[in-house]
Structure 1
Amino acid sequence: MELSCKSEYALLALLELATHYQSGEPLQIRQIAAQQNIPDRYLEQLLATLRRCGLVRSQRGAKGGYLLGREPWKINLLEVICCLEGSDSQSTDQDSGNKTTLESNLLREIWQEGCQAANAVLQKYTLQDLCEKRDAKRQLDIMYYI
């Protein structure tokens, strides 16, 4: 189980949008890309996918850009990853053409249990939780000198 580059970039972009959620002003692709160090063209594709899933919405015009589709506390990490990777991205290939053995079935069962545990963790955390964790870590990183 790995976090793909696609999912990582999308989560970083959504984190940036969640950070600016209270202002209600849309962010342009180049702003998000510069802040999170994401290639512009790739981000454009990711945001289009996220828009189709309803996780972001776009606003046209001179002051246009992207906004979260819902409140940051209502978007969990699992739905973001499922939007980008598909809902069965962590499943194993059930019909590989090989003979099914007791051992291979056992490995599949354990893999499924691991995927279910990972999904439970991802479903537990929202974009709001990410913002709060980031802010807490930033506070810890601040050093005071006398």
Structure 2
Amino acid sequence: MDFSNKSEYALLAMLEVASHYREGNPLQIRYISTQQNIPDRYLEQLLADLRRGGLLKSERGAKGGYRLARSPKEITVMDVIACMEGIDQQPTVSKTGDETVDRAAISEIWNEVRQSAFAVLRNYTLQDLLDKAAARRQLNTMYYI
């Protein structure tokens, strides 16, 4: 199951915004772009989609920018990916009555795989990703004698 670069960039942007959640100040596009190495114009589109999806709030003005709509503990990886990919998280049901028994069996398995993947993505929040990134940073800065 592959997701587009759009979802990966959206997750990176959301992680950057989530890392500043406690400060309460909105982050400007230029800052997010620089920190996560995402082109400004592309990031603008992603952030607009995330705002429309209810995951971000935007503030206008010189000190405006973007902030999370909810706590990083409440936004799952699946929320971000579903917003970016337009994924319906419900099981798929065959819409045609002329599906063969073989095709129905295959569809059933693919649906199970899809639901398992979605379950994993629903289990991880932005906070979980922030914690994992912090642990990796700490490992990278350890000195061994």
For normalisation by structure 1, the TM-score amounts to 0.89
Q: Could you list the per-position Cα deviations for residues 11-62 of structure 1 after superposition, in whole angstroms to 9, with x for gaps in the alignment?
A: 1000000001111111111111111111111110111111111100111111
Q: Which residue number corresponds to residue 15 of structure 1?
A: 15
In the TM superposition, 1:1-146 aligns within 5 A as: 1-88=1-88, 94=94, 100-146=99-145
How far off its partner does 1:88 sit?
Answer: 2.6
| CA-based RMSD | 2.1
Question: Could you list the runs of 5+ residues in structure 1 that have no partner in the other structure?
Answer: none
- CA distance in 2 between partners of 1:82 and 1:8 (Å): 12
- CA distance in 1 between partners of 2:92 and 2:114 (Å): 10
- CA distance in 1 between partners of 2:4 and 2:89 (Å): 11
CA contact (8 A) 2:6 2:84 kept: yes
CA contact (8 A) 2:91 2:115 kept: no
Q: Residue 22 of structure 2 aligns to a residue in which SS?
A: helix
Distance 1:89 1:120, change over 3 A: closer
- CA distance in 2 between partners of 1:130 and 1:51 (Å): 20
For normalisation by structure 2, the TM-score amounts to 0.90
- CA distance in 1 between partners of 2:22 and 2:70 (Å): 12
Poorly superposed stretches of 4+, deviation over 4 Å: 89-96
